[in-house]
Amino acid sequence: MTVTTQEAGAPFGAAPPAWPGADAIVTRGLTKRFRGGQVAVDALDLTVPRGAVFGFLGPNGSGKTTTIRMLLGLVTPTAGEYAVLGLPAARALPRVGALVEGPAFYPYLSGTANLLRFDAADPSARRATARRRAAEALERVGLSAAAGKRYRNYSLGMRQRLAIAAALLGPRELLILDEPTNGLDPQGTREVRALVKEIADGGTTVFVSSHLLAEVEQMCTHAAIMRAGRLVAQGTIASLGAGRVPRVRVETPDPARAAAVLGTLGLADVRADGDEVTAELGGHRPEMINAALVGQEVAVRGLAVVRPSLEDVFVGLTGEGFDVDG
């Protein structure tokens, strides 16, 4: 397999070692250093499996968009190597749809007319099939009924779906979305989330860059976490939380007595905060904990098992957090 590469001091495009082509995206040591010495992406080793909905997480300024621009051939890496669909970026691009900072649409044109203008700018697109492909793309994102509606009358969610339709004007094996829910209201966010899942169910790998942890947790099967240009962790959503112990949370008007009961049961790291008491669940069964509390005449308003979220993972890895739900 041939991949795009650049070693420090070597011409861009030097021959890299052969890699398996099963993954949608592979990077090894991918680095971008701007003039003045700022390192936007630092030795990134990333693997995105085919068929995944992959969340690329990190605070604003962590290197997410720069990484995407390198993958799309819009920015030249300083060092490292990468493959997209097992190919150099230039050869893979016809099979990749991308939404980076959103395309500019004409407000006075309809959704269909805007897509036709967008398609006309693609030298590889077949003009004879443009209208059919535009109609199919609109149907795929749920905008068929609004195909003749002027763009200026679209809601924010509809505008974002039209942008995704523009990325789907041809058959795509990989869809790259940079902050697809940024600025959307809850309804628009739900629309885009459902659309991403539907596209993935159709066999397309979806790579979603976001700074919203809760959104990625609901949408994605895999994720990677960036911080200050470096990769902190990557894997399946479940594996990122592996090793982090679930906790039991008890809501009660008598937290002191509840904490004492949990301690007697042998639960570790018992904490009381207002009307809530939490502890590591360990091997204890929640129903038995509830029975013990009631048996000791502790009033229980609520009891839940809380599993570690992506926010917990990020804070545990870096000691800091970022936007959870916008």
The answer to whether residues 154 and 36 belong to one domain is yes
Which residues of the chain fall short of a pLDDT of 70? 1-21, 102, 241-244, 314-326
How do 4-6 and 23-33 pair as beta strands?
unpaired
Q: Is the pTM of this model over 0.85?
A: no
Name residues whose C-beta falls within 8 Å of residue 191's C-beta, 6 or more positions apart in sequence: 142, 157, 160, 161
The answer to whether residues 17 and 52 belong to one domain is yes
- 236-280 residue pLDDT tens: 887 876 656 788 999 999 999 999 999 999 998 899 989 999 988
DSSP label at 110?
Answer: B
The answer to whether residues 233 and 105 belong to one domain is yes
Q: Report the pLDDT value the prediction gives residue 141, as an integer from 0 to 100.
A: 87
The answer to whether residues 277 and 130 belong to one domain is no
The answer to whether residues 193 and 272 belong to one domain is no
State how many domains the chain has.
2
The answer to whether residues 81 and 127 belong to one domain is yes
Q: Report the pLDDT value the prediction gives residue 318, as an integer from 0 to 100.
A: 58
Residue 313 falls within a domain, yes or no? no
The answer to whether residues 191 and 272 belong to one domain is no
**Which range marks the domain in which residue 261 is found?**
247-307
The answer to whether residues 97 and 217 belong to one domain is yes
Domain boundary among 203, 224, 240: 240
Residue 314 falls within a domain, yes or no? no
The answer to whether residues 121 and 102 belong to one domain is yes
Contact 150, 106 (CB under 8 A): no
- Both tokens assigned to 72: 């799309």
- 182-193 residue pLDDT tens: 777 788 788 888
**Domain harbouring 8, CATH code:** 3.40.50.300
The answer to whether residues 142 and 282 belong to one domain is no
Cα–Cα dist 89/201, whole Å: 24
Domain boundary among 200, 223, 240: 240
